Amino acid sequence: MSMVCLTDFEAGARERLSRSTWDYIEGGAGEGFTRDDNIAAFKRLRLRPRFLKDVSQVDTRTTIQGEEISAPIGVSPTGFHCLAWPDGEMSTARAAQAAGICYITSTYASCTLEDIVTAAPRGFRWFQLYVQPDRQLNKQLIQRVESLGFRALVITVDVPKVGNRRHDIRNQLNLKTNLLLKDLRSPKERNAMPHLQMSPIDGSFCWEDLSWFQSLTQLPIILKGILTKEDAELAVKHKVHGIIVSNHGGRQLDDVPASVDALPEVVAAVKGRLEVYLDGGVRTGNDVLKALALGAKCVFLGRPILWGLACKGEHGIGEVLNILKDEFHTSMALTGCRSVAEINQDLIQFSRL
């Protein structure tokens, strides 16, 4: 059967992956309300199309942090891609490079940063950092990603502690026994130790620490996991360059707003002083359009990338991205938008349902 939408890849991945791997990828925190609401929230938004416009030429290109991308769609940072496909993040990097989009590489990648860059040397990459308790390790990681040509530092802020993920607890999932996180070890350890040393995340990291990271790098710093106007205003105050509105795919604190529901509050708070992006719940081209209409500059995909990877490796991700880009192109044409710049909040009708 041909795969024509992202949910087709979801079904295919579920058939191919082990139960524990599927539960790890799909699982949410708590009862899974926020995970599911990320998708449902998009369906509560209705579109207001405009017609009798010349849409014979539709341009999906845009820029993020000054870099042109083929469409306002990118790859969110997710870890352990080798669970889905043997080449792991190397396949992901090649697919993102071919699509002309941004790939945010995770701290918890199962391939080394060097191997990822070698696999896709022309790729547009940002690096996602889970702040480690060892300051020197953070510094070394940042220096490595700068030297390897990563173009922004994405600091995840919503994991001072890992959320209550019931599926993983039931499955007694222990990634430490299955994976080798080479990037969280010193060069000596990477060469000498055959088993995983998985560093804990720093639960003490706070706003005042951002200046230390800013002193280390000239890369733009983007905060991932912001959901409120108060934190958005603090992000502006601390001179970061961007925000990813995200609830971690519903994997951290359950019962928080869906990402697209939190988006307007954050966009209003920053008043155009930094770029705002979104991840969580994007499954169709209409979802991309709705997020942009509400003020996001770009959306990022998490689980759908892993579905594509599990089904067909690099080519599966390429198909997922092409489907979404084609759907977005159609959504633009059918709402009268000839360029990304023409997408605005007038396209949204807020449903009373």
Q: What is the b/e burial string over 178-191, where b = at least 16 CB atoms within 10 angstroms of the residue's CB?
A: ebbbbbbbeeeeee
The per-residue DSSP string of 185-244 comes to S-HHHHHH--S---PPP-TT--GGGHHHHHHH--S-EEEEEE-SHHHHHHHHHTT-SEEE
Residues 6+ apart with CB under 8 A from 177: 196
Counting Cα atoms < 13 Å in the Cβ hemisphere of 58 gives 21
Binding-site residues for glyoxylate, please? Answer: 24, 165, 248, 251
At residue 179, φ and ψ (nearest 5 deg) are -130, 160
The answer to whether 241 is a known catalytic residue is no
Catalytic residue (choose from 195, 248, 315, 329)? 248
- Residue carrying structure tokens 């925000």: 243
Amino acid at 95: A
CA 43, CA 286: separation in Å to the nearest integer? 9
Binding-site residues for FMN, please? Answer: 77-79, 106, 128, 130, 156, 224, 246, 279-283, 302-303
Binding-site residues, please? Answer: 24, 77-79, 106, 128, 130, 156, 165, 224, 246, 248, 251, 279-283, 302-303
Just list the catalytic residues.
Answer: 248
